[in-house]
Structure 1
């Protein structure tokens, strides 16, 4: 236990402690801490940062709606597949020369969230879309800064002073404003009988519950839910894909085994359903190992204790902030044979069949497990297999290896790099 002023902070480290806390005491660690910055950007609304009745209603709606949008079925998969082909075209324009893929990957992943929330995609040249991408990037990086710590300690003082916190708060306003504009467009073109996206479904839910005094379905919560989708779903998936390409360039032998398996299963087919992952045990193992070995968060998202809890003989007091150290779970030497190495065999049995592991918890666990887990899994799978089928990813001339040391922050991106996406002759 650490003390941040008057607030007790407890870190759960290792698989056993995290499992005991998040799964066996799921309801006891279900709340989110309300800090000055989080209240400023979310006002305890939406899904990620709300608590109590609001959180339960919004999360339940989110889970049901994600299923209705066809995650795991052809509807949403088709849009992700189209976005993957757009990304492949961006790579092709580099003509095999050294190129930093970060911006193109981020744009494509953000457009997937646009498809989920708004039912449409935006051109990479659209100025409003680029402002949205920049705003999401800013709000995602700010919690890693010293100014964030200062804001949490003295919000009233910093609200009177210039600094990066003002840009972060302005970025939150940009995302909220973008969402409100799309909500107004949807209200003008009601799709009550055939909802197509998150906003459509939410507006239908608002109409159904308009006479319920306990309903939390309103435009403020809808706006924050959209904010949550972008902040939680853009950078996380984009960084995972950046790590994926870096690791493939560093491990050409693994890359070739993935490509061969994809070609053997896919053949001449131009489309690739997520459900086919079961026929790609090695590729699936590689994707899981990428997420395990280069987990993109420094910790899991913090929780707040709803009551006094005794955990392994230690008292965790009510209202303590609890950090589940998911990185420690993914690197736990008691759970993984070679935790510090990039080794797809962590997810394969002796016969080469894929093995799911209980300690694979990059999306968290318990009551607050990531709402977009299935969307993220489908995105990573389709983007990764599409790119590995079309290109060979090589190190630039004179580069022996790309650095696997992350930039440490709230998220842990790879250091900026360039690689060569060389088109495969057999690619259609």
Structure 2
């Protein structure tokens, strides 16, 4: 297949991204694991307690229920975009990325379910990205409003997901091993779909079945070093200022990783090689979007243009909010790449796609964006200045004007972000 025109480049980029999302299918990923390693059963007279949290929770629970035997109870907490009725399970919806009252109630239900577990029971945890915001369970002394304020500060801080979740863990009853503390002495087996680059299970959904990322003091120091300490509500600062010993975990969970960004990136690569030359440039595209955009541009300029080429990236960037606009990390990254290419010129036809595998980028209905050499000109033609929109973090408006939003709808999975830069031949 020849990928020369902008239209065919767009079609190819969309196909590669779709393949990456498909590789993270939560039901298929769990099914493959359980075929080789069956779901553990409770002891005699015990029951299975299945709890699924995250954007992939309904699909993971539906598959898990096909494998469970005997007496059981099942609870799902997911985002409203990912809601799906699952026979045999209670399905609750909650807020993401900002926690809400429904999530607070869901967190209480999870704690009650875990606390009722007996030694002979078996707890099955099904964890995917988004679980951190979906089940807020503030420590004593904090309100939901405090948690929302903390989350808003963290999301605009530029901190990566691991450091954000370190802070969240020490303000929550469920994060950082909360399932283990509340569910003890019942054994816990967890199946995890990772949205964290490097697959640190302590950071996925803030690690409900793993030990904390760091200490109480580490969380406080992270906030101070990031310059966000003064923006936290008084109750959060007061809690983090307490001298609290590291949390002890009575039992360890059997944590199983069943899907990740790396697996999806490899699927994207296989798909791309069916179309043109392909290379995985980075499986850890992290940090500020401006730095990531420069890295992508430099990769483009270093590539050979004697044949169509796909340059692939996987990761999760961050945005430091300085304006009042609307957007998400993928949209801003795409717009920044388009701006760089406009200012310095990438030879020939090209298309750049940056998308969240969950289908939602920030507080918008878009998964991300797909830009090309005409993006900046189209924004100018609408009577707006792309640089001004970028300065205001208003990438969603800019990309709406250029017609470059990537709209997939909720995918039911979440393994961070995939970027595809397709370069047409310049020969």
Report the TM-score, using the length of structure 1 for normalisation.
Answer: 0.29
Q: Which has the higher contact order (CA 8 A, sep 6+)?
A: 1
Identify, as 1 or 2, the structure richer in strand. 2
Q: By percentage of residues, which structure has more helix? A: 1
